[in-house]
Structure 1
Amino acid sequence: MFVLWLTLLLASITTSTPTTANTLTYTQKHAPNYTVFTHAPTGATLSFVNNSGICETTPNVNQYSGYLSVGEGLNMFFWYPPPLSSSQSSTLVFQETKRNLISFSRGNRFFESRHTPRSAPLATWFNGGPGCSSMIGLFQENGPCHFPLGGDSNEPVRNPYSFNEVANMLYIDQPVGVGFSYADADGNGGVEVNVNSTESAAGYVWVFLQAFFEAFRVYEGRDVAIFTESYGGHYGPSFASHIQSQNELIRNGSLSGEIINLVALGINNAWIDAGIQEKSYIDFAYNNTYRSLITSAQRDTYLSAYEKTCLPAVHNCTSTGTDESCRTANRVCSNQIEGPITRAADFNVYDIRKPKSDPEPPGTYMGYLNREDVRRRIGARGGRFRECAGGVTLDFARTGDNAKTLLPTLSTLIQSGLQVLLWAGDADWICNWVGNYDVANAVIFDRQEEFRRKELVPYTVDGVERGTFKSVGGFTFLRVFGAGHEVPYYQPETSLQVFRQVLEGRGVYST
């Protein structure tokens, strides 16, 4: 028994009225009246507040916020606004990776697209952690509103580079315990939470999307893409693979449900494969665009530890697949590589240009979401909002999830023809572009050698070079200049262009 709080932000529909056949309204003591929809095939229930007026202030752009409840005590919060003017028809799912994103239960936000929402694609965003809220993405990165650095207002302002300029955006907090999502206590005052790995989280995301498409039939048949960040390097491939496998079961009659027309996966600054990326911690720390973080002697020491202890432990995790061996790999690599490097110099692991104490991006949104008037208007329940929940991180650590590679899953997705984008800000250390590039070159698919041989070329936005990239077929790697871990925060114009191009389905290209 557990509760998921999904944060959904959809942005690409002007009029997305929920299906009415199975809806009713009731007064809930925690918030204003909810509209309630029950999805009979899965038993999931959507309860949401219409157009709270929070965050998205563009006239005639709808939004919904509330919960998905799956079974007794499982409640996922969402916030979603539909789009106004895109002519494409695709749905995307975004995620974020690694350690600084954690939450308890699930929260969801949905925002319509600001342009032609009836035809615009659907996109879902997941932050990572594991255990961090997707409100990070909503308020700090690519949502309809944000709190600019240095601003003295406690109210968010409109974000002109919001992803719901081109898509209906759905922001999801998962797994249980993340953001506003929460688990109901049992009769003994305790809560049993079973989501402790990437694999176990995937099924609940699928159930949510099934209930969502049933309640909001206007989105049925839209193309769907998954975009992620950070630990989304685990979430994204796993969720996409699960959706594909469920689609196949539905097609052959083994499962009843809606086909999800998944067309793309995008992951920035991803954590995908520990064996490759632990070494990139060393390589990037010594040689990057901005400043060396370690000496040549330290580099040699860390490389020796990587070869002698870290890499063998990761290989043991991969070959055995046991929680114990993968926990060991996490501990060995962290103690001998990650920990020592972070102590070697004063740098922010999410943006090496800055010291550890630097507050950017601003965390103003956390106080905002804990205001009683804001919580009441969006229908939030549960305890105090926290950006990341340590309990979820510990649950994943116990299964050694961090050390388990998603590279084979990613390779299978690319081979299947799914459009995949790996992109990374080049000032981030925790999931740095060097490691992402090495992972991209290690992907196994029928055009692997062609991709490996291809050189990175300039990526421009209106004629200005903003990064370097290479593409083969539907697979693209992009390095973004001057960006830390949260790429859309640092380079919003570039990020929106990349997002738009992926949704168009024509690949990434310079303008």
Structure 2
Amino acid sequence: MHLISLSSLFVSATALASLSFAAPLVNGKDKRSFVERDGVNYTVFEHAATGAKLEFVKNSGICETTAGVNQYSGYLSVGTNMNMWFWFFEARSNPTTAPLAAWFNGGPGCSSMIGLFQENGPCHFVNGASTPSLNPYSWNTYANMIYIDQPIGVGFSYGTDSVTSTVTAAPYVWKLLQAFYAQFPQYENRDFGLFTESYGGHYGPEFAHYFQQQNAAIDAGTVTGQKIPIVALGINNGWFDPAIQEKAYIQFSYNNTYQSLISKSDYDSYMSTYESDCLPAIQACASSGSNSDCSNADNTCYNEIEGPLSQVADFDVYDIREPSNDPYPPSTYSTYLTKSSVVKAIGAKSTYQECPNAPYNKFATTGDDARSFLDTLSAVVSTGLTTLIWAGDADWICNWFGGLAVANKIQYSGTSQFASAALAPYNVNGAEGGTFKTVDNLSFLRVFGAGHEVPYYQPELALQAFKQTMMKGPISST
């Protein structure tokens, strides 16, 4: 599944000595200092436990302009010359008690600024406007939100990128959150939600699983750190399992509710190719786990299934209703993020890159795309974690046919009941916005009239589903 078509220079010791003052925190190990550069004030925080350094700007005045709502944007060093970008927004109401949620876009190798500015962040660009306006359906109306650009090289993150797979990405995200908790201890022990989309079908299960493993290790005394109290996982239009979802490309192309892209004879031909070439390659990848087998599976299925199907008609793979040459939603936000005044205000130290090739190519070398995360997702759901698998039904690239098929295969205590349950109307203030089913801690939601980036198309519904999931209960109509 090929989604890509296709920082902070920390202050030197000398500069700190001349421009700032340092104050050790209560434990005598962590250190916080303040520095002014080019008229912008930065906080620099050094986290003793992980060796990480955090440098950020408070209240840049960019995006979130609601009075009294704080925001922080900047970098965390997660390793030598590894500077990961984050942008944090307090909840618009009750920030001192509201839960904390993190958002990750997919790719692999795409910036979470996509989600911030096009989907669920405090501001958005209406009808392709050149400047942002407040988003009334921002997810920070309910939760404190942190958006993270990972791996290194994506978005505003910059430096050395050693991440070559979903599994190797997880520890760096955990390290960022550890330093975040150390700098902002008021958010420790808050309910934590992990929300993601697209390649987040890989990221979401693995990151949640890694956080749970680290929590257990902290309890056992084998790891030193702050537990991440994860209570919710949400993945919209995710790429979870290639065996299921490569087949779904064929099924959706033939039988979706918007436009049939292929004939019955084409359908039969693609299904034959799937069975003879694509599926055996995926099974070889799963069996051996080798980079070569998994890269081969990725290439085989793309060249014989996904690639050709994406060219059978003039359509946007992210929204089957749109032509291929008219990307939607408009990407005006990316131009905004290259404005020198904006870059300076938020404390960014690199040129914004939405979906650069280099990080993606590293994942390609390990065949990460062709590796299934269904077992990992099952393990996470089996812990009782409230989980929402949802999808806009006009998306082709990670379509709802595949999402539903994956949800039905999740192995947990409610598997048989969930798989046999029918979809029922999902209403928002009495209006039907999709169909859903839920058994115990697992829910699936099909969203009507939405492409790949669900919160862009159906913001009110998306906010409702987000809030219900963060409340640790099943989603339900209103």
Runs of 4+ in 1 over 6 A off after TM superposition: none
Aligned twin of 2:114? 136
Structure 1 residue 197, shift from structure 2 partner: 0.4
The secondary structure found in structure 2 opposite 1:344 is coil
Aligned twin of 2:179? 211
Structure 1 residue 147, shift from structure 2 partner: 0.5
Out of 471, 474, 477, the residue aligned to residue 507 of structure 1 is 474
The answer to whether structure 1 residue 182 and structure 2 residue 194 are counterparts is: no
The answer to whether structure 1 residue 334 and structure 2 residue 312 are counterparts is: no
Structure 1 residue 335, shift from structure 2 partner: 0.7
Q: Which residue identity is paired with 2:419?
A: R
Query: In 1, Cα distance between the equivalents of 2:145 and 2:25?
Result: 22
The secondary structure found in structure 2 opposite 1:257 is coil
When the two chains are superposed, the root-mean-square deviation of aligned CA atoms in Å is 1.5
Deviations 1:254-287 (A, max 9, x none): 1111111110100000000000000000000000
The answer to whether structure 1 residue 322 and structure 2 residue 300 are counterparts is: no
Q: Which residue identity is paired with 1:34?
A: Y
Aligned twin of 2:437? 470
The answer to whether structure 1 residue 393 and structure 2 residue 402 are counterparts is: no
Counterparts of residues 127-206 of structure 1 (less than 5 Å): 127-151=105-129, 154-183=130-159, 192-206=160-174
Query: In 1, Cα distance between the equivalents of 2:35 and 2:81?
Result: 19
Counterparts of residues 362-511 of structure 1 (less than 5 Å): 362-382=330-350, 384-511=351-478
Structure 1 residue 360, shift from structure 2 partner: 1.7
The answer to whether structure 1 residue 45 and structure 2 residue 53 are counterparts is: yes
Contact conserved, 1:458 with 1:467, CA < 8 A, in 2? yes
Counterparts of residues 80-99 of structure 1 (less than 5 Å): none
Query: In 2, Cα distance between the equivalents of 1:19 and 1:459?
Result: 52
Deviations 1:65-123 (A, max 9, x none): 1100123211111xxxxxxxxxxxxxxxxxxxxxxxxxxxxxx1100110000000101
Aligned twin of 2:233? 265
The secondary structure found in structure 2 opposite 1:141 is helix
The secondary structure found in structure 1 opposite 2:412 is coil
Q: Which residue identity is paired with 1:175?
A: P
Deviations 1:154-186 (A, max 9, x none): 210000000000000100010011001100xxx
The secondary structure found in structure 2 opposite 1:49 is strand
Deviations 1:448-480 (A, max 9, x none): 111111111000001111000000101000000
Aligned twin of 1:297? 265
Out of 17, 20, 35, the residue aligned to residue 43 of structure 2 is 35
Identity of paired residues, percent? 56
Query: In 2, Cα distance between the equivalents of 1:25 and 1:427?
Result: 48
Query: In 1, Cα distance between the equivalents of 2:297 and 2:8?
Result: 29
Aligned twin of 1:237? 205
Q: Which residue identity is paired with 1:372?
A: S
Runs (5+) with no aligned partner, structure 2: 1-6, 10-22
The answer to whether structure 1 residue 118 and structure 2 residue 96 are counterparts is: yes
Deviations 1:361-406 (A, max 9, x none): 0111111100000000000002x21211111111101110000000
Structure 1 residue 34, shift from structure 2 partner: 1.1
Q: Which residue identity is paired with 1:416?
A: T
Q: Which residue identity is paired with 1:448?
A: T
Contact conserved, 1:49 with 1:379, CA < 8 A, in 2? yes
Contact conserved, 1:139 with 1:147, CA < 8 A, in 2? yes
Cα gap change, 1:355 to 1:298, in 2 (>3 Å):
same
> TM-score when scaled to structure 2?
0.93
Would you say how many aligned residue pairs link Structure 1 and Structure 2? 455
- My pick for the range that moved more, 356-365 or 261-270, is 356-365
Structure 1 residue 20, shift from structure 2 partner: 5.7
Structure 1 residue 358, shift from structure 2 partner: 1.5
Deviations 1:207-247 (A, max 9, x none): 01111011101101101111110000000100000000000
Query: In 2, Cα distance between the equivalents of 1:341 and 1:20?
Result: 57
Query: In 2, Cα distance between the equivalents of 1:409 and 1:387?
Result: 28
Q: Which residue identity is paired with 2:154?
A: V
Structure 1 residue 150, shift from structure 2 partner: 4.5
Structure 1 residue 503, shift from structure 2 partner: 1.3
Query: In 1, Cα distance between the equivalents of 2:382 and 2:370?
Result: 23
Out of 31, 34, 55, the residue aligned to residue 25 of structure 1 is 34
Structure 1 residue 27, shift from structure 2 partner: 3.4
The secondary structure found in structure 2 opposite 1:69 is strand
Contact conserved, 1:4 with 1:176, CA < 8 A, in 2? no
Structure 1 residue 149, shift from structure 2 partner: 1.6
Structure 1 residue 347, shift from structure 2 partner: 0.6
Cα gap change, 1:127 to 1:116, in 2 (>3 Å):
same
Query: In 1, Cα distance between the equivalents of 2:249 and 2:282?
Result: 15
Query: In 2, Cα distance between the equivalents of 1:232 and 1:4?
Result: 25
> TM-score when scaled to structure 1?
0.87
Contact conserved, 2:118 with 2:125, CA < 8 A, in 1? yes
Structure 1 residue 19, shift from structure 2 partner: 9.9
Contact conserved, 2:88 with 2:146, CA < 8 A, in 1? yes
Structure 1 residue 4, shift from structure 2 partner: 9.3
Structure 1 residue 359, shift from structure 2 partner: 2.8
Query: In 1, Cα distance between the equivalents of 2:24 and 2:150?
Result: 25
- My pick for the range that moved more, 351-360 or 133-142, is 351-360
Structure 1 residue 446, shift from structure 2 partner: 1.8
Contact conserved, 1:4 with 1:177, CA < 8 A, in 2? no
Query: In 2, Cα distance between the equivalents of 1:208 and 1:19?
Result: 20
- My pick for the range that moved more, 277-286 or 219-228, is 219-228
Out of 37, 53, 58, the residue aligned to residue 66 of structure 2 is 58
Contact conserved, 2:386 with 2:473, CA < 8 A, in 1? no
Query: In 1, Cα distance between the equivalents of 2:25 and 2:460?
Result: 38
Query: In 2, Cα distance between the equivalents of 1:245 and 1:463?
Result: 41
Cα gap change, 1:410 to 1:143, in 2 (>3 Å):
same
Contact conserved, 2:8 with 2:55, CA < 8 A, in 1? no
Structure 1 residue 352, shift from structure 2 partner: 0.3
Runs (5+) with no aligned partner, structure 1: 6-17, 78-107, 184-191
